């Protein structure tokens, strides 16, 4: 059945679900669009602040109706009562209430950037592989809704499996456990996966995946600062975030914004990585500081955060990434792999 047709049938079934105060869910103004993908059904119910608990039974009924029609698709229904509020936490001293750990995962490290295209996903994947090369049990969660590329970078194809009990089984690649928000999307749908739906998808990927025991879960965050970041940092204890930036000033200004947000949300910045930092000519081996040198390092010093390393701009990083064989595993003795591994070691030291 076409996805739109199924979405319409689910919407129709929601007319049999009651909402608090009378009336049905299908005609309720707070119901979002119903999104159907090959592996998931998602929608959100916006309610007045304080009404979340009252809508619990409505949500439960809605999930059941969707499950009955959706075959083996995962059903994601979120009830949201309020817009996440960054300011709420900006002056707090203690850990904000409601932050919890994820069962079986010792540490969670986010990889973020001020804007897209700076090499954040490439860095996330090679960083995760470098942590694994240090002997740690590592997973990677691709939360970059607007450009989920981790599976491709790891040479993975196909969606992740869902067990009978509704729990996701992660893919495995080069010893990493891998889940991607991309496996829930079909082309072009990222745009409608805004706000509550995106945050609810991330929450479920994080907490309803059979990660096993992990020393570290690396999360490839979307670029910038948005709902996904706020919801993640409010709900989950994230040990810290590594920020990736290119040397250009503009990217650094964007990176500064991301760092300011982390400060407000009391999430430690583990370090700044300068990507595409310098160019090594393949023929002569000469180094060219094409964007000027040391920009990110100086910026890190000004911002009072650790500078954890620079990655050169080299064709082989791009080629190996496109081929699904990341440099850290493709050429483990190469200079690029060593650059990523040095970063991972520094971050581990900072964490300890």
* CB-CB contact of 270 with 240 (8 Å): yes
User: Which of 32, 80, 113, 209 touches ligand ADP (CB under 6 A)?
Assistant: 113
Q: How many CB atoms within 10 Å of residue 305?
A: 20
Q: How far apart are the C-alpha atoms of 142 and 189, rounded to whole Å?
A: 16
Q: Is 321 in the site for ligand ADP (CB under 6 A)?
A: yes
Closest residue to bound ligand ADP by CB = 119
Residues 6 or more apart whose Cβ sits within 8 Å of residue 165: none
Nearest CB to ligand ADP, comparing residues 67 and 256: 256
Q: How far apart are the C-alpha atoms of 61 and 57, rounded to whole Å?
A: 6
With contacts defined by CB under 6 A, name the span among 72-80, 162-170, 248-256, 313-321 that binds ligand ADP.
313-321
Q: Is 118 in the site for ligand ADP (CB under 6 A)?
A: yes
* CB-CB contact of 269 with 300 (8 Å): no
Total residues contacting ligand ADP (rule CB under 6 A)?
Answer: 18
User: Which of 129, 259, 313, 337 touches ligand ADP (CB under 6 A)?
Assistant: 313
Nearest CB to ligand ADP, comparing residues 147 and 263: 147
Q: Is 276 in the site for ligand ADP (CB under 6 A)?
A: yes
User: Which of 23, 56, 96, 117 touches ligand ADP (CB under 6 A)?
Assistant: 117
Least spacing, CB of residue 103 vs ligand ADP, in Å = 28
Nearest CB to ligand ADP, comparing residues 196 and 247: 247
- Contact set for ligand ADP, span 229-268 (CB under 6 A): none
- Contact set for ligand ADP, span 129-168 (CB under 6 A): 147, 149
Q: Give one DSSP letter per residue of 227-256, joined into a string.
A: HHHHHHHHHB---EEEEEE-SSHHHHHHHH
Nearest CB to ligand ADP, comparing residues 75 and 179: 179
Nearest CB to ligand ADP, comparing residues 270 and 337: 337
Least spacing, CB of residue 159 vs ligand ADP, in Å = 20
Q: Is 311 in the site for ligand ADP (CB under 6 A)?
A: yes
Nearest CB to ligand ADP, comparing residues 79 and 190: 190
Q: How far apart are the C-alpha atoms of 166 and 171, rounded to whole Å?
A: 16
Least spacing, CB of residue 265 vs ligand ADP, in Å = 21
Q: How far apart are the C-alpha atoms of 320 and 164, rounded to whole Å?
A: 36
Residue closest to 137 by CA, chosen among 110, 163, 169, 107: 107
Q: Which residue has the tokens 């919407």?
A: 11
Residue 162 sits at φ, ψ, to 5 deg, of: -115, 130
Q: Is 314 in the site for ligand ADP (CB under 6 A)?
A: yes
Triad 151, 157, 160: Cα angle to 5°: 80
Nearest CB to ligand ADP, comparing residues 92 and 117: 117
Q: Which residue has the tokens 């007319």?
A: 15
Q: How far apart are the C-alpha atoms of 178 and 151, rounded to whole Å?
A: 8
Q: Is 120 in the site for ligand ADP (CB under 6 A)?
A: yes
Least spacing, CB of residue 111 vs ligand ADP, in Å = 9
* CB-CB contact of 76 with 200 (8 Å): yes
Residues 6 or more apart whose Cβ sits within 8 Å of residue 191: none
Binding residues for ligand ADP (CB under 6 A): 113, 116-122, 147, 149, 275-276, 311, 313-314, 317-318, 321
């Amino acid at each position: 059945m076409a996805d739109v047709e199924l979405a319409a049938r689910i919407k129709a079934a929601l007319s049999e679900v009651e909402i608090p105060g009378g009336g049905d869910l299908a005609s309720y103004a707070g119901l979002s669009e119903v999104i159907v993908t090959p592996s998931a059904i998602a929608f959100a119910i916006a309610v007045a602040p304080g009404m979340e608990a009252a809508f619990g039974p409505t949500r439960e009924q809605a999930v059941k109706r969707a499950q009955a029609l959706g075959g083996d698709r995962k059903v994601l229904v979120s009830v949201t009562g309020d817009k996440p509020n960054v300011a709420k936490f900006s002056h707090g001293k203690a850990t904000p209430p409601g932050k919890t750990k994820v069962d079986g995962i010792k540490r969670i490290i986010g990889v973020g950037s001020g804007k897209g295209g700076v090499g954040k996903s490439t860095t996330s994947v090679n960083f995760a592989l470098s942590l694994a090369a240090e002997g740690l049990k590592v997973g990677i969660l691709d939360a970059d809704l607007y450009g989920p590329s981790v599976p491709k970078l790891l040479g993975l194809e196909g969606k992740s499996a869902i067990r009978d009990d509704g729990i996701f089984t992660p893919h495995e690649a080069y010893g990493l456990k891998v889940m991607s928000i991309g496996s829930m999307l079909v082309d072009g749908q990222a745009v409608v996966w805004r706000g509550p739906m995106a945050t609810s998808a991330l929450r479920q990927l994080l907490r309803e995946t059979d990660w096993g025991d992990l020393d570290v879960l690396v999360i490839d965050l979307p670029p910038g600062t948005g709902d996904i970041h706020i919801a993640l940092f409010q709900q989950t204890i994230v040990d810290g975030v590594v920020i990736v930036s290119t040397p250009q000033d503009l990217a650094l200004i964007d990176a500064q914004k991301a760092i300011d947000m982390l400060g407000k949300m009391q999430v430690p910045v583990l370090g700044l990585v300068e990507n595409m930092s310098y160019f090594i000519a393949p023929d002569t081996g000469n180094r060219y500081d094409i964007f000027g040198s040391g920009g990110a390092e100086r910026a890190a010093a000004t911002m009072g955060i650790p500078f954890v390393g620079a990655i050169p701009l080299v064709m082989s990083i791009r080629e190996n990434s496109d081929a699904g064989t990341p440099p850290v595993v493709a050429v483990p003795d190469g200079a690029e792999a060593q650059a990523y591994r040095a970063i991972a070691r520094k971050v581990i030291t900072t964490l300890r």
